[in-house]
Amino acid sequence: MAKPAGNVKGVQVSQTLVRTAAGWLLGLMLAVAAAIVCINLVSNSVASPQQQVREYLSALQKGHGSEALGILHASVPSANAAMLDGTALQTAASKITDIKLGNAQSRGNNRVTVPMDYKIDGKGLHSDFVLERTGTEWLFFGKWSFVPTSLPTIDVSVVNANQATLNGVPVNLPNGRNSFAVFYPGDYEASLTGKYFSAPATNTAVTAGTSAQTPLSLLTKPTDDLINVVNDKVKEFLDECAADATKQQRLQPDCPFYHVTNSRVVDGTIKWQITEYPKVSIDPFDGQWVVAPLNGKARVTAREIDLFSGLVGDLNVVHDFSFTTRLDIGADTITVTPIVSS
């Protein structure tokens, strides 16, 4: 009767071993599955080509130009480098919103394209980044790197000036123009704000490193301050001219206005008055600023004697007049020189 008991014990031990082996096998399978999941997660995140793009964008947003340049593996063209670091670079990247990186698309030869959709000032834009697999890390994970390229450039020009502001940074524009190396994607805005001259801001979004970029052209105009200064000087000249003509009792003074008559004018009765002052307009011409011809009206009043009849009457005539000026603008001075034909 002891033999059957031994068989039962042997069966129980065998079942225990089977369960243990099954448990180990299940654990091993779960571990392998977990490892596969982890490998896929890592491959699709920190070891993915998209991760290189994320790191590049992060460097742009921080204004770390040297880091971004190293990640992008880009060469710097022969152009002004003012936009490649610090505030200017941060400003370029600050308007990029709603970033969506797409799946890497194979280009063959271990290269892929990573598409990126985003917005700048609410406008939907698209950029493509080309990367290549340069090796393997930890047996499973691909090592990705940007395919070397060259940074794009933006041409900036300004009318009758040699400085401007680009992405909040003062920049020099020798002879009114310059070329700037820039990162992409990014938004670049040029403007000119001065006491006497200004230009409205103009901007362009750079989305690729190869296509031609839209140049930024600043259309400089005189400010109200300059118009007012020139207007005051013109008004002062005309008022003094009218006052001197009245004081000197001259019908044909050294002024833009005059009167011709065949009658004899009674001394002490001549009076000149400006009834309509010119409207000042300043425009660029041949690298300088010129004041457009100035047109106005002046009234002369007097007592005059008709030489044929001897009758005394009142003279009251309004004359149109026109003259030009030379405008000289220094660092702190504005000179308006009237040019009156004799």
Task: Dump pLDDT digits (tens) for 166-184.
Answer: 999 999 999 999 999 999 9
Confidence bin at 136 (pLDDT 50/70/90) = confident
- What are the φ and ψ backbone dihedral angles of 43, each rounded to 5 degrees? -65, -30
Higher pLDDT, 27 or 14: 14
Query: Confidence class of residue 14 from pLDDT cuts 50, 70 and 90?
Result: low
pLDDT, position 210: 76
Contact yes or no for 171/156 (Cβ under 8 A): yes
> Could you tell me the end-to-end alpha-carbon distance of the chain, in angstroms, rounded to an integer?
149
Question: Is the pLDDT at 114 greater than 50, yes or no?
Answer: yes
pLDDT digits 0-9 by tens, 35-65: 343 334 444 445 799 999 999 999 999 999 9
**Integer Cα distance of 340 and 322 in angstroms:** 9
Between CA 118 and CA 318 the distance in angstroms is 65
H-only helix segments in 213-315: 224-248
- The distance from CA 183 to its chain's CA centroid, rounded to whole angstroms, is 14
| 16 band by pLDDT with thresholds 50, 70 and 90 | low
Residue appearing with tokens 């022969």: 78
Helix ranges (DSSP H) in 144-268: 224-248
Report the pLDDT value the prediction gives residue 9, as an integer from 0 to 100.
58
Other residues' Cβ atoms within 10 Å of the Cβ of residue 41 = 12
Q: Which of 133-142, 149-158, 194-203 bottoms out in mean pLDDT, i.e. has the lowest?
A: 133-142
**What are 283-341's pLDDT values in tens digits?**
999 889 999 999 999 999 999 998 888 888 999 999 999 999 999 998 789 999 999 87
* pLDDT, position 36: 40
Q: Say what the pLDDT of residue 35 is.
A: 39
Stretch among 23-27, 242-246, 295-299, 336-340 having the lowest mean pLDDT: 23-27
What is this structure's pTM? Answer: 0.77
340 DSSP assignment: -
The strand pairing partners of 141, in sequence order, are 137
Taking residues 246-255, report their average pLDDT.
Answer: 96
Residue 31 has pLDDT above 50, yes or no: no
User: Tell me, what's the pLDDT at 8?
Assistant: 54
The whole-chain average pLDDT of the chain stands at 88
